Structure 1
Amino acid sequence: MEVKPSPLPMLPVRDWSDLPTDALSTIFMKLGSIEVLMGAGLVCHSWLAAAKSPELWRSVDMTRHKVVFSKGIDTMCAMAKVAIDRSQGKMESFLAQKFVTSELLDYIACRASSLKSIRLIACRNFWEPSLAELATQCPLLEEIECSGNKVSSEFLVYVGRARPQLKRLKIHMRWFDEDAMESEMEHEMEHEMMHDDDDDEEEEEEEEEEEGEFLYEDENVDDDEDEGEKDEEIEEDEDENNDDDDEEEEMEEDEDLDEDKNDVVEEEEDEDMDEGEDDENETNEEWEVRKNKDAFAIAENMPELRLLQISGNNLTNKGVHAILDGCPHLECFDLSECYNVRVDDQLRARCAKIKHAWLPRQSPRVHCLDLRVIEEDEGEDYGITMQDLWEAEVETLEAEAKMEEGSYGDYYEDYSALSSPESCVDSKDALVCTMEAVPSPLPDTDSDRDWSELPVDALSAIFTKLGLLRS
């Protein structure tokens, strides 16, 4: 008779809502601001209380999340206001992507006097004066990022004068040739004007044709009256012929005067040619000034900068040297995609004194985490999430186990073991192919597990995966 083993003793199930608030706050700090606002803070009252801890909202990061791309601007601004209110004036860093408006910037300026860093990624729904006013009302501000936007030199001058202690400025944007764009716009405007003139000419011709038809009808009616008038006109023409002889003599005298005037005009044209060369030189200087407005504004008003990311700007070598002279404490300088800058030996020698200097057309570049750019669409969900890839990996391993037992099923693929979600292929076709050979799912167990009894090495592995997913 077989002896059945005695069942394992049931361990007491812990109520995670009884965890101390400080412990929950520490755990929530590992999550992102959006996850806390939309997930952890909605579980129970104790978790909501922990989610309202001001210490949790010193740094608010609302970037690289699929919610940013799926929710409307009003919804995201409302979530940001909740985070700002929970900080109780202690927020030091605010990082947002795409949704920021002028009204939200005004809200931050009134409620975050401790703000030290504001970073706006591809936010095109606010006006520059709102950001400038925020800089004025936040005396501790040391970092401003406005990536993906074209900011004016007037804004840089205003911010530099309001916050001369600014240490980090990022105004990264994609390169475009301003002169070529202006030329193209002028060409389009000329084309439209010519098209409008052609339309006006066609309308005038149609009006003239209508008037001609009207006059033709009037001539048929008044033919008899015109015959008498023609006789009078013939007599007047004879008198005019006598006057023409006198006019010919006067014209001969005028020709002599015109010859003298032509000599004077030729002398004036020679003088204009000389003046034209001077005007061309002035135009080149004006071009340099126009291209380097941003650079001159930074050099003259932000002497304490340690990091400057101005990639994609239209500045020239003259502007770069002005920045190097006006910002002597620079440690990180990003000039990538500044294709008006000519990299010569003089520029290399000056940039060699900077810890991290990224020059245009330079490869490879020294890695610098502070100069990393958050792309405009970074974090957008394209259909396959990390959870989907992880589930596909688990199912692949289960399919491999079946294959080792000799039960290959209806389909067979040479699967290889995957070690993490990052090693999964990011392709819908590969995911579908993997799903075809998956056996039936394992039955669910009814027993409640006490996850707090997991070994320390297992918990470390789980936390490592969470860190990977977060990054």
Structure 2
Amino acid sequence: MVRSSKRNRRSWAELPEEFTFLVLSRLGAIDVLTSAQKVCRLWRQICKHPMVWRTIDMSNDHFFHEVHYDLDKMCRHAVDRSSGELEDINVEYFGTDDLLKYITNSSSGIKRLRLAHCPRITDKGLSEVSPKLPLLADLDITSCRNISHEPLKVIGRCCLLLKSFKLDTWFKLPEDEVYDDSVFHINEDDEADVEADVEVNAEVDADADADALAIAGSMHGLHHLQLFRNELTNDGLSEILDHCPHLESLDLRYCYNLNLKGDLGIKCAERIKELQLPDDSTDIPKTDLFKKNKCWFTPCSDDDDGEDYFRCDGNVVDVIIGNTIDFTDDYEW
């Protein structure tokens, strides 16, 4: 019975190399470095191939991973493994100016960059690396509180291939202020009855349109723009529409300084193919929830004869600190 059971086990080492690359591409960098590369010798060799590291996804549970790992060191090692072929990188929580400099010094072909919740990345740091991103086409800056509108101008001037830009500034509304949802509703059947644009908030901060003006002044090739929770006003939005003629999609959710009840709202509806208004739903698509189920792999032991197995578990803690995972690799994170 034991022999029969052993024969029925799947040997991950016998998988076609192309399929192995596909499996590894579904994992984040942390999972590959701490688990997948320990499955067997073949997988370890494949995990060192630069192709695996063209995309480096450092998605992480901030409150858990930073306690157990040196994510900065891990990210640098992943960049080293890419051997200059890195095209797509996502850095969450632990990013710094120095790390960003290391990434761009090592890789000149980056096409997509996402920086999320990185307070240690500053205007100066982002501005200095922008000239090293000539192929950048997709930029996502989410909740990086020390990044202002200033580096956006530099990015626009240096990254001429930029087609998609997402900026989430975590703009928070006053708790005692109430907004009328009808202000953001566009009814194309009643265009003739729509009133002219009016000033929504006469006391809007003078810098409210700083991001919008930086974008309008330098990112003329944009096709997709998301300004989530931004303070821009109608003036800033008008500048974007006038100077970004290729815009196909525009996300303005939670931009509550806007009044899209009049001509500007009509202009948006006519010009933009995919338009999301300030009061539109912010529900996360199901396709964005795949990270909740993590796959991890049991490393081979001396008596496994190269037969290796995996299981999926929704418990991230089990994935990281499961007793079957050996963390005694050549590297200490």
TM-score normalised to structure 1 length: 0.51
Aligned-pair identity (%) = 32
**Structure 1 residue 74 displacement after superposition:** 7.0
Q: Secondary structure at the match of 1:120?
A: strand
Q: Which residue in 2 is equivalent to 1:293?
A: 210
1:450-465 map, 5 Å: none
**Structure 1 residue 47 displacement after superposition:** 1.9
1:60-209 map, 5 Å: 60-63=56-59, 65-66=60-61, 69-72=64-67, 75-150=70-145, 151-176=147-172
Which digits, 9 at most, give the CA deviation of each residue in 1:123-182, with x for residues without a partner?
11222222222221121011221111243222111111122331111111222369x9xx
1:97 and 1:122 in contact (8 A); partners too: yes
Which digits, 9 at most, give the CA deviation of each residue in 1:207-252, with x for residues without a partner?
xxxxxxxxxxxxxxxxxxxxxxxxxxxxxxxxxxxxxxxxxxxxxx
Q: Which residue in 1 is equivalent to 2:33?
A: 37
RMSD: 3.9
1:10 and 1:86, CA in 2 relative to 1: closer, same or farther beyond 3 A? Answer: closer
Work out the number of aligned pairs and report it: 276
1:175 and 1:289, CA in 2 relative to 1: closer, same or farther beyond 3 A? Answer: closer
> Which of 346, 358, 362 is equivalent to 2:263?
346
Q: Secondary structure at the match of 1:348?
A: helix
**Structure 1 residue 342 displacement after superposition:** 1.2
1:25, 1:312 → 2: CA distance?
Answer: 38
2:39 and 2:308 in contact (8 A); partners too: no
Q: Secondary structure at the match of 1:115?
A: coil
Q: Secondary structure at the match of 1:333?
A: strand
Alignment partner of 1:356 is 2:270:
no
Unaligned regions of 5+ residues in structure 1, if any? Answer: 1-6, 181-283, 388-447, 453-461
**Structure 1 residue 360 displacement after superposition:** 1.5
TM-score normalised to structure 2 length: 0.70
Alignment partner of 1:321 is 2:316:
no
* Larger RCO: 1 or 2 (CA < 8 Å, sep 6+): 2
**Structure 1 residue 122 displacement after superposition:** 0.9
Q: Secondary structure at the match of 1:171?
A: strand
**Structure 1 residue 347 displacement after superposition:** 2.2
Considering fraction of residues, name the structure with more helix. Answer: 1
2:164 and 2:222 in contact (8 A); partners too: yes
1:292 and 1:319 in contact (8 A); partners too: yes
Which digits, 9 at most, give the CA deviation of each residue in 1:359-407, with x for residues without a partner?
2224x58x997xx999xxx979xxxx889xxxxxxxxxxxxxxxxxxxx
Which one-letter code corresponds to 1:30 in the other structure?
A: R
Which one-letter code corresponds to 2:244 in the other structure?
A: C
Decide which structure has the larger Cα Rg and report it: 1
1:72, 1:87 → 2: CA distance?
Answer: 26
1:68 and 1:99 in contact (8 A); partners too: no
2:227 and 2:251 in contact (8 A); partners too: yes
Alignment partner of 1:331 is 2:326:
no
Which digits, 9 at most, give the CA deviation of each residue in 1:310-343, with x for residues without a partner?
1212111111111111111112211111111112
